[in-house]
């Protein structure tokens, strides 16, 4: 792994026009957060997370404890038998009390046993639909080493944060490494 494979990067989407629409494949369904899903969320991330040490207290640090807010913004994918296999959250960037602020795609995960089954795009569609109801635009944070996640985000119209790209040589190098692997047309436009 090179030093540009695990650079933290920020991506933005300037609006919600023409968000791609994808449905879950057969055998899966969505549900929203239910009390007790802190453990479900943590277990999914422990199983799938290669870069971050996920500890039990992370959920509360990231999301708090308000079940009403969580049930409106956190989505789980599960099998028809009720096995949780993925999660995505349509959060806010900084302050939930600022209605004009960008929304945030936050903590996307698919259990390794269910990756490459067409779940991430429907999850992103669902979260983007929720964000569009409350926010003018969207942001997310990820790593330059998450090649296939980055491809999905680029396909959904997210692009490198221009301010971060211009101000950080490390971030610019990380994106160059991503482009060497993906050759994505949207990314090419930002790396000229």
pLDDT tens column, 20-67: 999 999 999 999 999 999 999 999 999 998 888 899 899 999 999 999
The tokens 């903590």 sit on which residue?
107
Asked if the model's pLDDT at residue 100 lies above 90, the reply is no
- 65-81 confidence digits (pLDDT tens): 999 999 999 999 999 99
In this predicted structure, what is the pLDDT of residue 139?
Answer: 96
Q: How far is CA 103 from the centre of its chain?
A: 11
**Angle made by CA atoms 109, 41, 175, in degrees to the nearest 5:** 30
- Residue 128's Cβ-count burial label (10 Å; 0-12, 13-18, 19+) is buried
- 118-139 confidence digits (pLDDT tens): 999 999 999 999 999 999 999 9
In this predicted structure, what is the pLDDT of residue 52?
Answer: 86
In this predicted structure, what is the pLDDT of residue 2?
Answer: 60
The tokens 């004009």 sit on which residue?
100
Q: What is the pTM of this model?
A: 0.93
The string over 155-188, giving b where at least 16 C-beta atoms fall within 10 Å of a residue's C-beta and e elsewhere, is ebbbbbbeebbeebeebbebbebbbeebebeebe
In this predicted structure, what is the pLDDT of residue 6?
Answer: 86
> Which residues on adjacent β-strands are paired with residue 104?
91, 139
Average pLDDT, the chain: 94
| Strands ordered across the beta sheet of 8-13 | 28-32, 74-79, 84-92, 103-110, 138-143, 8-13, 159-160
State the average pLDDT over residues 167-177: 96
Domains and CATH numbers, the chain: 1-16+137-192 (no CATH), 21-136 (3.40.630.30)
Top pLDDT among 171 and 93 is at: 171
Q: How far is CA 67 from the centre of its chain?
A: 21
Percent of the chain whose predicted confidence (pLDDT) is above 90: 89
Asked if the model's pLDDT at residue 1 lies above 60, the reply is no
In this predicted structure, what is the pLDDT of residue 93?
Answer: 87
């Amino acid at each position: 792994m090179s030093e540009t494979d695990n650079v933290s990067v920020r991506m933005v989407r300037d609006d919600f026009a023409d968000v791609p629409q994808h449905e879950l494949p057969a055998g899966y369904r969505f549900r929203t957060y239910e009390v007790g899903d802190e453990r479900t969320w943590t277990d999914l991330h422990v199983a799938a997370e290669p870069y971050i040490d996920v500890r039990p207290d992370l959920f509360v640090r990231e999301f708090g404890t308000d079940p009403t807010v969580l049930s409106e913004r956190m989505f789980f994918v599960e099998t028809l038998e009720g096995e949780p296999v993925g999660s995505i959250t349509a959060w806010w960037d900084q302050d939930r009390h600022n209605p004009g602020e960008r929304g945030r795609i936050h903590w996307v995960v698919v259990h390794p046993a269910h990756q490459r089954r067409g779940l991430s795009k429907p999850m992103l569609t669902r979260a983007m639909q929720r964000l569009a109801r409350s926010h003018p635009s969207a942001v997310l944070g990820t790593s330059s080493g998450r090649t296939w996640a980055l491809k999905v985000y680029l396909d959904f119209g997210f692009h490198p944060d221009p301010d971060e790209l211009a101000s950080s040589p490390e971030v610019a190098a990380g994106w160059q490494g991503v482009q060497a692997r993906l050759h994505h047309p949207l990314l090419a436009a930002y790396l000229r």
